[in-house]
Each structure stands twice: as C-alpha cells, then as structure tokens.
C-alpha cells in the first residue's frame, strides 16, 4: 500500500524498507528468508529489492524523477493551510494559488490547490499546494504569504 501514496518518494521508501528487512534477515549464522506480500509483485521497488539492486533502482528512480521534473532535478515548495473551517482553508489556498500563477512561468509547475492526503488533523482542515522551482528564494521573495500558511521548502513529507 505504501508504494502508492501520493508522494514521489513512496517507491524509494518501499524499496528501502524491503532492503532493510532483507539485510537483517541474513545477519545470523542461520540464513533468513523474506516474504513480501503484495498485489503488485512487478512494481520496480519490489523487483529491484528482490535482487538487492540498489544501483539499478537508483537509476530507474532518478530517470522517473527527471522525466516528471521532480527532485533532485527541481526544488519543491509546499504551502499548507489549516483551519477549523474547511471552506476558509480552501479559499486561502486558492487565493495564494492565484497569486502564484501570476509569478510562476509554467502553470504545470503549480500542483494544487488540493486537500492534503490527511485532510483533517487535530480537528482542522488541511489544504495544500506545491510549486516546482529552480529558486525557492526567488519564488518567495516579495510573495504575500498569509499568516495562517505554513511554507516548507524541500518538504520531506508530501502527505
């Protein structure tokens, strides 16, 4: 399930987890065996992990990220709004998106606005948008960011 989360690092995390488990299974004098239960045995993270092909997985994953214009080939900036009123969080996110559309040359570099994957946290509604950019500093310079907006440059988590 973790391979299909809406985060470009999902495959990498799945691969790392399988590799870590497999590495621990073979550490003792007795040989170990790892069984991965999946509906997607042909997923690249699983196929590369079964042969412990870290370099092959890295080449595959980097090619995918280059094709989709994702890190490390670009920088991401995440803007997140949360509010006890869903409509207010959404509106604030949409207003910032309009402002960003006037500043960002390629509209495909703005992802969202959309509800966050975990749409509610602590009884507050969450809306977010991402911007792909070569220079977060240039993007953020002079941008009117509402007080209730959390800005995360190169976010570790997209959920």
Last residue of a domain, one of 18, 42, 67: 67
The overall pTM is greater than 0.95: no
DSSP of 52-105: T-HHHHHHHHHHHHHHTT-TTSSEEEEEEEEESSHHHHHHHHHHHHHHHHHH-S
At 27-58, the pLDDT tens digits run: 777 777 888 889 999 999 999 998 999 999 99
* pLDDT for residue 103: 87
Tokens for 6, please give them. 């809406």
Residues 37 and 62 in one domain: yes
Cα 53 to Cα 44, 49, 56, 59, 63, distances in angstroms: 11, 6, 5, 10, 16
Residues 51 and 94 in one domain: no
Residues 40 and 83 in one domain: no
Residues 58 and 124 in one domain: no
How many structural domains is the chain composed of? 2
pLDDT band at 133 (very low <50, low <70, confident <90, very high): very high
Q: 158 lies in a domain?
A: no
Residues 63 and 45 in one domain: yes
At 51-107, the pLDDT tens digits run: 999 999 999 999 999 999 999 999 999 999 999 999 999 999 999 999 999 988 887
Q: 159 lies in a domain?
A: no
CB 110, CB 101: distance < 8 Å: yes
Tokens for 138, please give them. 């240039």
Residues 56 and 88 in one domain: no
Last residue of a domain, one of 10, 42, 67: 67
Least confident range from 24-28, 129-133, 151-155: namely: 24-28
What CATH number does residue 132 fall under? Answer: 3.30.70.600
Q: 88 lies in a domain?
A: yes
Give me the sheet containing 110-121, strands edge to edge.
110-121, 124-133, 75-83, 149-153
Q: 115 lies in a domain?
A: yes
Residues 60 and 120 in one domain: no
| Cβ atoms within 10 Å of 131's Cβ, excluding its own | 24
pLDDT band at 159 (very low <50, low <70, confident <90, very high): confident
> Distance between CA 4 and CA 61 in Å, rounded?
14
* pLDDT for residue 117: 94
Q: 63 lies in a domain?
A: yes
Domain that holds residue 37: 2-67
- Sign of the dihedral defined by the CA atoms of residues 97, 102, 107, 110, in that order: negative
Residues 60 and 82 in one domain: no
């Amino acid at each position: 399930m973790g391979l299909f989360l809406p985060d470009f690092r999902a495959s990498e995390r799945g691969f790392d987890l399988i590799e870590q488990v497999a590495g621990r299974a073979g550490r003792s004098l007795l040989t170990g065996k790892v069984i991965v239960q999946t509906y997607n045995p042909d997923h690249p993270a699983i196929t590369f992990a079964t042969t412990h092909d870290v370099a092959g997985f890295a080449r595959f994953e980097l090619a995918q990220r280059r094709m989709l214009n994702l890190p490390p080939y670009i920088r991401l900036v995440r803007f997140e709004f949360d509010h006890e009123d869903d409509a207010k969080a959404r509106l604030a996110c949409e207003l910032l998106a309009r402002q960003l559309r006037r500043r960002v040359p390629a509209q495909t570099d703005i992802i969202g606005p959309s509800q966050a994957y975990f749409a509610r946290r602590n009884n507050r509604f969450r809306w977010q948008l991402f911007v792909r950019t070569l220079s977060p500093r240039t993007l953020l310079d002079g941008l009117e960011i509402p007080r209730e907006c959390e800005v995360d440059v190169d976010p570790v988590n997209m959920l």
